């Protein structure tokens, strides 16, 4: 049910004037409590931080914004404050360029392409498990959730093991330097890395996506070297922390709840449902921004042209108006239309790949290490910037081969 007009008083809106979604001192639990409070008391809240923006927390309002890209533009950047990074491919473009980017980036990430790629994902998962299986202990964040997404996305485009990790390291250093003097130099280094890979494919073409990019066009859509670097940043960085967080969240959910563990061990359909239920409850990437193109109203409140709006995906995913018993990890949900991957025109291009990684990694770990158990207390989720994640998952198991 969308918010009824006039329900929010000026006093309620002002109660969140100090709201800063980047505040590093706020824990994941405090974040959740604040989402709930905002959604229930002031679903169109106003923050005066970063030049001012409205925060939307109800499911219907969040979906309404994400489904109207002509009215809510992504072209001014989808982060508050702006990342300072060159515009991220696909994500920070409006049409017609947005559609062009999706056509360029989409082919290796379709459901069909991902299904065909599953044996390769399993091979990568097995090689990671092989590296610690004889030890009888591991940290599933350090040893699986963190390296797997970069290795997988690297292979998707055609990079080998070492190049995938090198690409991730260079891209991570660029992101770590945002706002500092080293930023341009590090970005140039990433461009060089991509150019080296493209040159290599021009000299020695292969049957891979990088070779297609190196040819200057994908499915008839032209792409130059700067475009290729932007695309690679989006793949490597976009798919890295988010998927790592998704994997860690699902592993934590499965290893801390015996009923969930039993269900996913015996029933592949339950495992697929657990992937989405975990994404709904953990929502790895919480916030995305838009700019208002024309005066409009959302949730019964007027929002003026030029205003900035922040959609809170985590709050929407726990909205009781949409999800019965939203706090419950419920494998019985017949539909799970969560917005952890966004919605509308900009819905995540990597969602099928991310789901496949999450499903396959949990399935394989439980199959190969049936007595896998967490050591110590259930680890807390933490907020790192806009990302909800788990820092470590120490486990023990009977050493295998």
The residue ranges that bind ligand HEM (CB under 6 A) are 66, 74, 78, 90-91, 102, 105, 153, 234-235, 238-239, 242-243, 246, 284-285, 288, 340-342, 346, 348-350, 353-354
Q: How far is the CB of 97 from ligand HEM (least distance, A)?
A: 11
Nearer Cβ to ligand HEM (8/281): 281
Q: How far is the CB of 375 from ligand HEM (least distance, A)?
A: 25
Residue 203 buriedness (CB in 10 A; 0-12 / 13-18 / 19+): exposed
Nearer Cβ to ligand HEM (78/132): 78
Nearer Cβ to ligand HEM (132/174): 174
CA distances from 180 to 23, 51, 88, 173 (A): 19, 21, 19, 11
Q: How far is the CB of 143 from ligand HEM (least distance, A)?
A: 19
Nearer Cβ to ligand HEM (133/293): 293
* Tokens (6 digits) for 192: 């060089």
Nearer Cβ to ligand HEM (80/354): 354
Peptide linkage before 81 cis (omega within 30 of 0): yes
For ligand HEM, the nearest residue by Cβ is 350
Nearer Cβ to ligand HEM (8/242): 242
Q: How far is the CB of 357 from ligand HEM (least distance, A)?
A: 7
Nearer Cβ to ligand HEM (289/397): 289
Q: How far is the CB of 96 from ligand HEM (least distance, A)?
A: 13
Q: How far is the CB of 93 from ligand HEM (least distance, A)?
A: 7
Q: How many other β-carbons are positioned within 10 Å of the β-carbon of residue 367?
A: 10
Q: How far is the CB of 161 from ligand HEM (least distance, A)?
A: 17
| Residues in Cβ contact with 326 at an 8 Å cutoff, skipping those fewer than 6 apart | 317, 318, 319, 320
Q: How far is the CB of 60 from ligand HEM (least distance, A)?
A: 16
Query: Is residue 366 within 8 Å of residue 372, measured between CB atoms?
Result: yes
Nearer Cβ to ligand HEM (254/348): 348
- Look at residues 287, 288, 172 and name the one whose alpha carbon lies nearest to residue 233: 172
| Residues in Cβ contact with 294 at an 8 Å cutoff, skipping those fewer than 6 apart | 71, 305
């Amino acid at each position: 049910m969308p918010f009824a007009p006039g329900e929010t008083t000026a006093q309620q809106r002002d109660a969140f004037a100090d709201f800063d979604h980047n505040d590093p001192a706020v824990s994941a639990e405090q974040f959740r409590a604040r989402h709930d409070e905002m959604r229930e008391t002031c679903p169109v809240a106003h923050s005066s931080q970063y030049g001012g923006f409205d925060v939307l927390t109800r499911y219907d309002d969040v979906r309404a914004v994400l489904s109207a890209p002509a009215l809510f533009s992504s072209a001014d950047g989808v982060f508050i404050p702006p990342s300072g990074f060159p515009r991220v491919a696909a994500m920070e473009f409006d049409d017609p360029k947005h559609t062009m980017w999706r056509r360029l980036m989409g082919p290796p990430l379709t459901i069909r392409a991902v299904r065909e790629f599953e044996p390769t994902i399993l091979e990568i998962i097995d090689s990671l498990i092989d590296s610690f299986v004889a030890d009888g202990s591991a940290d599933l964040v350090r040893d699986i959730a963190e390296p797997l997404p970069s290795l997988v996305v690297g292979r998707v485009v055609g990079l080998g093991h070492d190049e995938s990790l090198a690409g991730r390291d260079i891209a991570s250093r660029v992101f770590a330097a945002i706002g500092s003097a080293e930023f341009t130099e590090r970005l140039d280094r990433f461009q060089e890395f991509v150019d080296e890979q493209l040159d290599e494919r021009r000299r020695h073409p292969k049957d891979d996506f990088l070779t297609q990019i190196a040819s200057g066009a994908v499915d008839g859509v032209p792409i130059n070297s700067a475009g290729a670097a932007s695309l690679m940043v989006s793949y490597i960085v976009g798919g890295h922390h988010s998927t790592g967080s998704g994997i860690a969240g699902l592993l934590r959910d499965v290893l801390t709840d015996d009923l969930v563990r039993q269900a996913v061990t015996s029933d592949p359909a339950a495992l697929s449902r657990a992937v989405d239920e975990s994404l709904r409850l953990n929502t790895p990437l919480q916030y995305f921004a838009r700019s208002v193109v024309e005066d409009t109203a959302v949730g019964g409140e007027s929002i003026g042209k030029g205003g900035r709006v922040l959609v809170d995906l985590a709050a929407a995913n726990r909205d009781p108006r949409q999800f019965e018993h939203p706090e419950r990890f419920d494998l019985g949900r017949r539909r799970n239309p969560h917005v952890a991957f966004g919605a509308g025109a900009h819905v995540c291009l990597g969602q099928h790949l991310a789901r496949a990684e999450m499903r396959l990694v949990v399935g394989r770990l439980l199959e190969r290490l049936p007595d896998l158990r967490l050591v110590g207390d259930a680890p807390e989720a933490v907020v790192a910037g806009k990302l909800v994640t788990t820092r470590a998952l120490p486990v023990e198991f009977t050493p295998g081969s």
